[in-house]
Amino acid sequence: MLTNTSHLCSSTIIKKAIVALTGLVMIGFLVVHLLGNLQVFAGAGVTPETTKLNEYALLLKKEPVLLWGARLFLILTAILHVMTTITLTQHNRDARPQHYEVRHSYASYASQMMIFGGLAILFYIVYHILHFTTGTVHADYFTPHDVYQNMIRSFQDPTIVGVYVAAQIALFAHLYHGTVSVFRTLGMNNPRHIFWIKKAGILFALIICGGFISIPVCIYFGMVS
Ligand code: HEM
């Protein structure tokens, strides 16, 4: 019985570590992605080829093997993150028969928010790739190889700006709760530590999501054109 319980415990810890590690890889992508996209604030060059943001986008596509290697790695990381989260949630549900009593606890509320927020982010990523990478949705605003103009045209549209801002708010909640839960998994449950971890989590999520939100909002209000 004891062996069984400790086996379950260690498999849960491994799963939580996988969720945390894959989350960290995706955070790494987000930081690089944000820094790349912030180059929109450098403005338009004389030609599309000399526009800073386009130069950066072209650089990424110069080595197709590297590009597709990185894309594949990210896709596999995201799949592992989602699948492990699903098995962890199922395991947690099976482990507690008294659903009704725990339903309103903070942990249960946060974990439900992580699932719905995660799903919203997943839908957003699909929409986002169809928007800026393939030009399938909002095709009127899309010119291949002119990422700068694609952003400027798209973010004149208040509906698109609204979708992007809403997605970054979902990302904010996911990043914040994710950061706190990673540290809890690492065993940091001391209330004083948790207090500072929460502050750091909010600050980090604010920097990333605030940075992303600044792009559609500044373009919409004509600060970049
Ligand atoms: C306002 C916020 C954002 C802007 C303006 C933005 C902009 C862009 C642009 C322009 C591209 C296409 C790049 C190209 O074709 O060269 C792109 C691709 C992508 N973005 Fe974003 N992005 C934003 C936020 C995000 C967020 C929050 C995520 C993830 C949660 C994300 C994930 C991706 C992915 C996965 C790709 C596809 C990369 C690839 O083609 O391999 N983006 N983004």
Domain assignment present for residue 2? The answer is no
Give the pLDDT confidence score for residue 154 in this predicted structure. 98
Give the pLDDT confidence score for residue 206 in this predicted structure. 97
Domain assignment present for residue 32? The answer is yes
| Alpha helices, H only, the chain | 2-37, 52-61, 64-95, 99-102, 106-128, 147-154, 158-185, 191-220
DSSP 8-state class, residue 83: H
Instruction: Count other Cβ atoms within 10 Å, centred on residue 144.
Output: 8
What are residue 97's phi and psi, to 5 degrees? -75, -25
Query: Which pLDDT band holds residue 121 (cuts at 50, 70, 90)?
Result: very high
For the chain, the straight-line distance linking the first and the last C-alpha, in angstroms and rounded, comes to 66
Q: What's the rounded mean pLDDT across residues 110-131?
A: 92
Q: Which of 30, 32, 33, 156 to mutate to test the pocket of ligand 1 (most atoms within 8 A of CB)?
A: 33
* Distance of CA 200 from the midpoint of ligand 1 (Å): 25
The predicted-structure confidence for 37-71, as pLDDT tens digits, reads as follows 999 999 999 999 999 999 999 999 999 999 999 99
**Domain range spanning residue 42?**
20-220
Question: How big is the chain, counted in residues?
Answer: 225
Domain assignment present for residue 14? The answer is no
Task: Give the C-alpha separation, 54 to 60, whole Å.
Answer: 10
Q: Is the pLDDT of residue 107 over 70?
A: no
Domain assignment present for residue 9? The answer is no
Mean pLDDT, the chain, rounded, equals 90
Domain assignment present for residue 6? The answer is no
Decide whether any atom of ligand 1 lies within 6 Å of the 125 Cβ.
yes
Domain assignment present for residue 185? The answer is yes
Specify the ligand 1 atom closest to the Cα of 133.
Answer: 15
Domain count of the fold of the chain: 1
Decide whether any atom of ligand 1 lies within 6 Å of the 141 Cβ.
no
* Distance of CA 48 from the midpoint of ligand 1 (Å): 19
Domain assignment present for residue 78? The answer is yes
Domain assignment present for residue 7? The answer is no
Give the pLDDT confidence score for residue 11 in this predicted structure. 83
Q: What's the rounded mean pLDDT across residues 193-202?
A: 92
Query: Which pLDDT band holds residue 114 (cuts at 50, 70, 90)?
Result: confident
Give the pLDDT confidence score for residue 109 in this predicted structure. 74
Decide whether any atom of ligand 1 lies within 6 Å of the 57 Cβ.
yes
Q: Is the pLDDT of residue 111 over 90?
A: no
Q: Which of 26, 39, 60, 132 to mutate to test the pocket of ligand 1 (most atoms within 8 A of CB)?
A: 132
Task: Give the C-alpha separation, 71 to 58, whole Å.
Answer: 15
Decide whether any atom of ligand 1 lies within 6 Å of the 37 Cβ.
yes
Task: Give the C-alpha separation, 118 to 82, whole Å.
Answer: 8
Instruction: Count other Cβ atoms within 10 Å, centred on residue 88.
Output: 17
